[in-house]
Amino acid sequence: MTKVSMTVNGQPVSGEVEGRTLLSTFLRDTLGLTGTHVGCDTGQCGACTIHVDGASVKSCNMLALEAEGAQVATIEGMSNADGSLGRIQQAFQDHHGLQCGFCTPGMVMAAAALLAEIPKPSEAEIRRYLSGNLCRCTGYHNIVKAILAASGQDVGAEYAA
Amino acid sequence: MPADGGIGAPNKRREDVRFLTGKGRYTDDINVSGQAYVWFLRSNVAHGRINSVDTAAAQAMPGVIRVFTGADFEAVGGIPCGWQVTDRHGEPMQEPAHPVLAQGKVRHVGDPIAAVVAETVEQARDAAEAIEADIDELPAVVDMKAALEPGAPKVHDDLTGNLCYDWGFVEENREAVAKAFDAAAHVTTLELKNNRLIANAMEPRVAIGEYNSATGDHTLYTTSQNPHVIRLLMGAFVLGIPEHKLRVVAPDVGGGFGSKIFHYAEEAFCTFAAKEVNRPVKWTATRSEAFITDAHGRDHVTKIELALDADNNFTALRTETYANMGAYLSTFAPSVPTWLHGTLMAGNYRTPLIYVNVKAVFTNTVPVDAYRGAGRPEATFQLERVIDKAARELGVDPIALRRQNFITEFPYATPVAVEYDTGDYVATMDKLEEIADLAGFEARRAESAANGKLRGLGVNCYIEACGIAPSHLVGQLGARAGLYESATVRVNATGGLVVMTGSHSHGQGHETAFPQVVAEMIGIDPNMVEIVHGDTANTPMGMGTYGSRSLAVGGSAIVRATEKIINKAKKIAAHLMEASEGDIELRDGQFSVAGTDKSVAWGDVTLAAYVPHNYPLEEIEPGLEETAFYDPNNFTFPAGAYACEVEVDPDTGKVTIERFAAADDFGNIVNPMIVDGQVHGGLGQGIGQALLEQAVYDEDGQLITGSYMDYAMPRADDVPSYVVDHSCATPCTHNPLGVKGCGEAGAIGSPPAVVNAVVDALQRAGKDVTHIDMPLSPSRVWQAMNP
Ligand code: FES
Ligand code: FES
């Protein structure tokens, strides 16, 4: 076992891990941050997407030890300081961009990385960017819409009560 | 649109807040103190005889608590099948044993041979690799027709061959149908495959067994769509644990699509082992394991024939289908190709004579069972494809041919034993033509052609039978369960309500939609209503969620229980206002006496129920809590019309979906936002089936598509944005909400639209292509174009 230290959602954390321990396992099992989900074992579903030093990464594709000293952000750190939903989270709720919620943390993290890179993406850019994140529930329609809305683009007000 | 958040309002989902902040509680997020972990050693051959399983080395590895093999399960039951089909000759289907861990033989890749329980998952996995299983590989059967050849290897030595059943429906019509074919002016024949799929809910299955040796109580946490069904099946048939000693919890569940209906061996293993080792035992499937253990879906091979008279009226329909059961009978497998498929063969059309033959076959593959739509997509696909082919052979417009044969009068008794209570297929087709802008197709086609692309249009209808189902009927059909749903409505002293439902939400938004129903009935804010589901300890016995039944059956139970609450509350209100019960009206959460200005608030009445100082104690009991079980008296029949426009690249055969429109009749709508989402999701899966997905076995029974590298899941850039509409509503006539169910429509209606569109594109380009089997991969389409 080796000690690993990093900053997660602004908090310094550390723990003992095996060389083979994945970053996703460290987050879930050692830190109890179970918002990061594991949907596959081949690095292809994106449910485990987080940010490491500002970049979008699949935390099942990285060893915990590789994140030594890194700045890590997970879904648990995406809300506003007062606990209310952040901009992207709120757009997902407003536009029904989630159903079972299992892909959702990864989708939100991927969307945040996309909007940091391209502040006003087109629908095609969103779809291309999300091709590493699988959702089995939504048919992607409302996820795309939520991200368009979160970027401040007009998607109509279909569900405004 | 109601402003009060009741029925019809697109209320935002309250469950979203926990899912969006990482605070969902899925089964793998649960860790029970002192838990150990299990790793299964699984067969890597499709068929083999087990000579011995030597666990000594594994047992001696670090952290190992105990190694289990099939021998440990000889004293308990096997995994049961919940539906018995009777064959054409009145004989019961062949029903093989299904041990929790393999005994004697392994029958598919993934069949569990042994299981290691250890302190950590890594230790369990390492030790499983040290187990020496001496297995003689036997020849495998993978192809269904080959499996029925004389002398084919037998999946189960103690059965007569590999035929599970040979089912005829309606058997008495067989001769009359044959005569109608002899008399037909035109017969269209089509042979097709309904590709084998894997549900791939994004959350892999998880089970945690826990045993309290002080009380003798068992708890199972599991990724299930129906915790009560698991409790009954596992308790009564496998482990012999009475329900009052067994609690099954299905917390937040990350999608199911059918695959989490069934009782799986891992659930029984964890429950059994927890007592044996006196430690909680946790299993989390890897995705690789999910591919070879979750029940697969579809996998039908069909020949369908449609007979028409000289005026193009449908006169008879005949099908012969081979349906893959896999190596064992999964919980509801026998019902899928029979009662969920044959009864839908009339579709939206007046076809007076129908005969359906289904041969269910055992093969050395993973068991096959219900997947979103379950039988109804298979029925719809073959019917809507053969109608399209008939239209092309006859040189008539495919939409006109459909319209000509629509059922237009309701109720309508089909020749396949069901009665459609209501519908309006002309209205949904009219709506489709509008929302899909079919009038603009030619212009779009010309534009595609200018870009060197072949554009095609595919249109089809669908009908499904939802809200499964009347218990007395399914009992006659072989179900070993009732199919009612339950609800307990508990009103608290200060007026808030808790609804405990037997249905289960794994993405459908029950926590948001169900309160809308109660709020509407009482006239209160839906935020005063909380939904509890997924735990047998605090919900009444219920049958769970599948077959688009939650609102139609579960919602109806909530209506019935709430009616009982209102009736009792009116008695209390009458007493408080010294009026007669018959004069009490409830509106906007206020009870009033008709024709007077007297009123008491909802909260006054609920408080009186629990603080019964001024209360009619001689007439009614204190408290305000009621339970209802609702057993529907018919299926519901959602129906609709779908249109797909594709572009085919003539150089590569690549198909892209350019437009997709869906016009559905779901009856009344409680939350239109959630309904749209259900349709979108179904369309995504249906388009996935049509273009991308297929579980492929090689001839030795190895699953070639065992990961996301080989099994092509639809991704965001594979699918379009959809145009959906559910304004053509003919309310269901026999449930109190007038709802029909919307969960499966998209997956049922979309595959034929896509295939019809691709065939249309190729035929318009002068290619002699009448059918391509799904998935329509570029290579298949290219080969069809370039024979
Ligand atoms: S769990 Fe990381 S990509 Fe699937
Ligand atoms: S919301 Fe269920 S997988 Fe995306």
Check CB contact under 8 Å for A93 and B13: yes
Check CB contact under 8 Å for A100 and B5: no
Quick one: which atom of ligand 2 is closest to the CA of B254?
Answer: 2
**By the 8 A CB rule, do A76 and A9 touch?**
yes
- Is residue B222 domain-shared with residue B127, that is, in the same domain? yes
Rounded to the nearest 5 percent, the helix, strand and coil shares of chain B are: 30, 25, 45
- Mutation target for A interface from B1, B12, B14, B16: give the one with most A CBs within 10 A: B16
Residue B568: count other Cβ atoms within 10 Å of its Cβ.
19
- Is residue B591 domain-shared with residue B489, that is, in the same domain? yes
d(CA A144, CA A152): 13
Rounded distance from Cα A65 to ligand 2 centre (Å): 30
Token look-up 């979160």 returns: A150
**By the 8 A CB rule, do B742 and B732 touch?**
no
| Alpha-helical segments (H) within B496-652 | 510-522, 556-576, 602-610
- Is residue B354 domain-shared with residue B447, that is, in the same domain? yes
Check CB contact under 8 Å for A101 and B708: no
Is B7 part of a structural domain of the chain? no
Is B477 part of a structural domain of the chain? no
> What is the b/e burial string over B646-661, where b = at least 16 CB atoms within 10 angstroms of the residue's CB?
bbbbbeebbbebbbbb
pLDDT at B328: 98
- Is residue B264 domain-shared with residue B346, that is, in the same domain? no
Taken in order A8, A9, A12, A13, the sign of the CA dihedral is: negative
Mutate to test the pocket of ligand 1, among A23, A38, A50, A62 (most ligand atoms within 8 A of CB): A38
Mean pLDDT of the region B454-464: 97
Residue B550, token pair as written in the block: 């939650």
Structural domains of chain A in order of their starting residue, each with its CATH number:
2-77 (3.10.20.30), 87-156 (1.10.150.120)
**By the 8 A CB rule, do B711 and B777 touch?**
no
**What's the domain count of chain B?**
3
CA nearest to B715 within chain A: A131
Q: Is the pLDDT of residue B1 over 70?
A: no
Nearest to B734 by CA among B602, B654, B594, B637: B637
Residue nearest to atom 2 of ligand 2 (CA): A100
Mean pLDDT of the region B118-144: 97
Q: Is the pLDDT of residue A143 over 50?
A: yes
**By the 8 A CB rule, do B487 and B628 touch?**
yes
d(CA B593, CA B584): 5
For residue B359, give the 3-state DSSP assignment. Answer: strand
Largest separation between any pair of C-alpha atoms in chain A? 54
- Mutation target for A interface from B15, B17, B21: give the one with most A CBs within 10 A: B21
Residue nearest to atom 3 of ligand 2 (CA): A135
Q: Is the pLDDT of residue A151 over 50?
A: yes
8-state DSSP, B341: T
Residue A83: count other Cβ atoms within 10 Å of its Cβ.
7
**pLDDT interval class at B483 (50, 70, 90):** confident
**By the 8 A CB rule, do A133 and A114 touch?**
no
Token look-up 């067969």 returns: B43
Q: State the Cα torsion B469-B475-B481-B482 to the nearest 10°.
A: 50
- Mutation target for B interface from A8, A30, A40: give the one with most B CBs within 10 A: A40
- Is residue B655 domain-shared with residue B600, that is, in the same domain? no
Q: Residue B194, class by beta-carbon neighbours within 10 Å (0-12 exposed, 13-18 middle, 19+ buried)?
A: buried
Q: Is the pLDDT of residue B127 over 60?
A: yes
Check CB contact under 8 Å for A130 and B674: no
- What is the span of the domain harbouring residue B624? 484-630
State pLDDT tens for residues B368-378: 999 999 999 99
**pLDDT interval class at B479 (50, 70, 90):** confident
Rounded distance from Cα A61 to ligand 1 centre (Å): 7
d(CA B269, CA B283): 9
> Tell me, what CATH number does B239's domain have?
3.90.1170.50
Q: Is the pLDDT of residue A160 over 70?
A: no
Q: Is the pLDDT of residue A104 over 70?
A: yes
Q: Is the pLDDT of residue B741 over 50?
A: yes
Is B169 part of a structural domain of the chain? no
Q: Is the pLDDT of residue B474 over 90?
A: no
Is B570 part of a structural domain of the chain? yes
Instruction: Show the ligand 1 pocket: residues with CB < 6 angstroms.
Output: A 38-40, 43-48, 58, 60
- Is residue B362 domain-shared with residue B264, that is, in the same domain? no
**Quick one: how far is CA B162 from the chain centroid?**
26
Q: Where are the beta strands (DSSP E) in B250-308?
A: 281-284, 296-297, 300-308
Residue B90: count other Cβ atoms within 10 Å of its Cβ.
7
Residue A84: count other Cβ atoms within 10 Å of its Cβ.
11
Mean pLDDT of the region B488-510: 96
- Is residue B766 domain-shared with residue B779, that is, in the same domain? yes
What number of residues does chain B have? Answer: 787
Nearest to B93 by CA among B148, B153, B169, B163: B163
Mean pLDDT of the region A65-93: 97
CA separation (Å) from B597 to B590, B592, B593, B594? 11, 7, 7, 8
Q: Is the pLDDT of residue B178 over 70?
A: yes
- Is residue B396 domain-shared with residue B508, that is, in the same domain? no
Mutate to test the pocket of ligand 1, among A27, A58, A62 (most ligand atoms within 8 A of CB): A58
Q: Which ligand places an atom closest to the C-alpha of A45?
A: 1
Question: What are all long-range contacts of B766-770, with beta carbons under 8 Å and residues at least 24 apart?
Answer: B770/B190, B770/B389, B770/B392
8-state DSSP, B83: B
Instruction: Show the ligand 2 pocket: residues with CB < 6 angstroms.
Output: A 98-104, 135-138; B 202, 255, 507
With a CB cutoff of 8 Å and minimum separation 6, the contacts of B106 are B43, B45, B46, B47, B48, B50, B113, B135
Check CB contact under 8 Å for B1 and A161: yes
Is B40 part of a structural domain of the chain? yes
Out of B251, B284, B317, pick the residue that ends a domain.
B284
Residue B465: count other Cβ atoms within 10 Å of its Cβ.
24
State pLDDT tens for residues B56-75: 999 999 999 999 999 999 99
Q: Which ligand places an atom closest to the C-alpha of A57?
A: 1
pLDDT at A159: 59
State pLDDT tens for residues B557-570: 999 999 999 999 99
Out of B630, B651, B667, pick the residue that ends a domain.
B630
Taking one residue from A and the other from B, the number of pairs with CB-CB distance under 8 angstroms is 199
* Closest approach of B108 to chain A, Cα-based (Å): 21
**By the 8 A CB rule, do B454 and B650 touch?**
yes
- Is residue B743 domain-shared with residue B762, that is, in the same domain? yes
**By the 8 A CB rule, do B550 and B486 touch?**
no
Check CB contact under 8 Å for B677 and A99: yes
Residue B321, token pair as written in the block: 């289908």
Is B757 part of a structural domain of the chain? yes
Task: Please provide the average confidence, as pLDDT, over all residues in chain B.
Answer: 96
pLDDT at B323: 98
Single-letter amino acid code for the residue at B259: S
pLDDT at B470: 85
Check CB contact under 8 Å for B203 and A37: yes
CA nearest to B686 within chain A: A139
> Tell me, what CATH number does B694's domain have?
3.30.365.10
Q: Is the pLDDT of residue B402 over 80?
A: yes
Residue nearest to atom 1 of ligand 1 (CA): A38
Q: Is the pLDDT of residue B3 over 60?
A: no
* Closest approach of A117 to chain B, Cα-based (Å): 19
**By the 8 A CB rule, do B28 and B208 touch?**
no
Residue B529, token pair as written in the block: 């209503």
For residue B362, give the 3-state DSSP assignment. Answer: strand
Q: Is the pLDDT of residue A161 over 80?
A: no
8-state DSSP, B440: G
Rounded distance from Cα A99 to ligand 2 centre (Å): 5
**pLDDT interval class at B468 (50, 70, 90):** confident
Rounded distance from Cα A143 to ligand 1 centre (Å): 19
**By the 8 A CB rule, do B586 and B599 touch?**
no
CA-atom Rg of chain B in angstroms: 27
pLDDT at B547: 85
By Cβ distance, the residue of A41, A76, A140 closest to B21 is A76
Out of B249, B284, B319, pick the residue that ends a domain.
B284
- Is residue B220 domain-shared with residue B92, that is, in the same domain? yes
Mean pLDDT of the region B66-91: 96
- Is residue B640 domain-shared with residue B625, that is, in the same domain? no
List chain A residues with CB under 8 Å of B716. Answer: 126-128, 130-131, 133, 135, 140, 143-144
Check CB contact under 8 Å for A40 and B685: no
Q: Which ligand places an atom closest to the C-alpha of B201?
A: 2
- Mutation target for A interface from B11, B12, B15, B20: give the one with most A CBs within 10 A: B20
Rounded distance from Cα A46 to ligand 1 centre (Å): 5
Is B23 part of a structural domain of the chain? no
Mean pLDDT of the region B259-265: 97
8-state DSSP, B26: B
pLDDT at A157: 65
With a CB cutoff of 8 Å and minimum separation 6, the contacts of A157 are none
Quick one: which atom of ligand 1 is closest to the CA of A134?
Answer: 4
pLDDT at B724: 97
HSE toward the beta carbon, residue B119, CA cutoff 13 A: 4
Quick one: which atom of ligand 2 is closest to the CA of A98?
Answer: 1
Phi, psi of B648 (to 5 degrees): -110, 130
Residue B9, Ramachandran bin (φ over 0: left; ψ between -120 and 50: alpha; else beta): beta
Is B1 part of a structural domain of the chain? no
**By the 8 A CB rule, do A122 and B717 touch?**
no
Check CB contact under 8 Å for B24 and A94: no
Residue B768, token pair as written in the block: 């002699």
- Is residue B412 domain-shared with residue B532, that is, in the same domain? no
- How open is the CA angle B658-B663-B664, to the nearest 5 degrees? 135
Q: Is the pLDDT of residue B481 over 90?
A: no
